[in-house]
A and B are shown apart, each in its own frame.
Chain A
Amino acid sequence: MRYSGWQVIAKGLRGQRGWQPAWRDPAPKLAYQVIIIGAGGHGLATAYYLAKNHGITDVAVLERGWLGGGNVGRNTTIVRANYHLDGNTEFYSHSLKLWEGLEQELNYNVMMSQRGIINLAHSDGQMDFYARRGNAMRMQGDDAELLDRDRVRRAYPGLNHDNPRFPILGGLRQRRAGTARHDAVAWGFARGADRRGVDLVQNCEVTGFRIERGRVTGVETTRGFIGAGKVGMAVAGRTSQVAQMAGLRLPIESHVLQAFVTEGLKPVLPGVVTFGMGHFYISQSDKGGLVYGGDLDFYNSYAARGNLPMIEHVHEAGMALMPMLGRARMLRHWGGIMDMSMDGSPIIDRTPIDGLYLNGGWCYGGFKATPASGWCFAHLIATDRPSPHAMRLRLDRFETGHVLDEEGTGAQPNKH
Chain B
Amino acid sequence: MRLTCPLCGDRDSREFSYLGSATLSDRPADDAPFDAWHEYVHLRDNPAGPNAELWHHVSGCSAWLHVVRDTRNHQVLSIRLAEEGA
Contacts and interface: CB of A to CB of B under 8 A. Distances in A.
Interface string A245-259: 000011111100000
B73 interface: yes
A307 to B, nearest CB: 6
Contacts of B73: 303
A300 B43 contact: no
B48 A302 contact: yes
Given A254-B71, A307-B74, A412-B20, A249 B13 contact: no
Nearest to A250: B43
Contacts of B18: 298-299, 414
Interface string A227-262: 000000000001011001000011111100000000
Contacts of A299: 18, 53, 69
Given A301-B71, A303-B73, A399-B38, A250 B20 contact: no
Contacts of B53: 299-300
Contact of A253 (B12, B14, B46, B69): B46
B42 A251 contact: yes
Interface SS of A by simple majority: mixed
A249 B48 contact: no
A349 to B, nearest CB: 14
Contacts of B43: 249-251
Nearest to B41: A411
Interface in B1-38: 1, 12-14, 18, 20-21, 34, 38
B38 A300 contact: no
Contacts of B41: 342, 398, 411
Q: Which 9 A-B pairs have the closest CB atoms?
A: A240-B46, A251-B42, A302-B48, A299-B18, A398-B42, A249-B43, A342-B42, A300-B71, A302-B72
B34 to A, nearest CB: 8
Contacts of A254: 46, 48, 71
Given A299-B53, A309-B14, A251 B44 contact: yes
B83 interface: no
Contacts of B47: 240
B49 to A, nearest CB: 8
B71 A302 contact: yes
B6 to A, nearest CB: 19
Contact of B46 (A300, A309, A399, A411): A300
Interface in A341-361: 342
A55 B72 CA distance: 40
A240 B49 CA distance: 13
A309 B71 contact: no
Nearest to B55: A299
Nearest to B16: A299
Given A250-B43, A252-B44, 15 more contacts: A240-B45, A240-B46, A241-B48, A244-B45, A250-B44, A252-B46, A254-B48, A299-B69, A300-B21, A300-B51, A301-B74, A342-B41, A411-B42, A412-B20, A414-B20
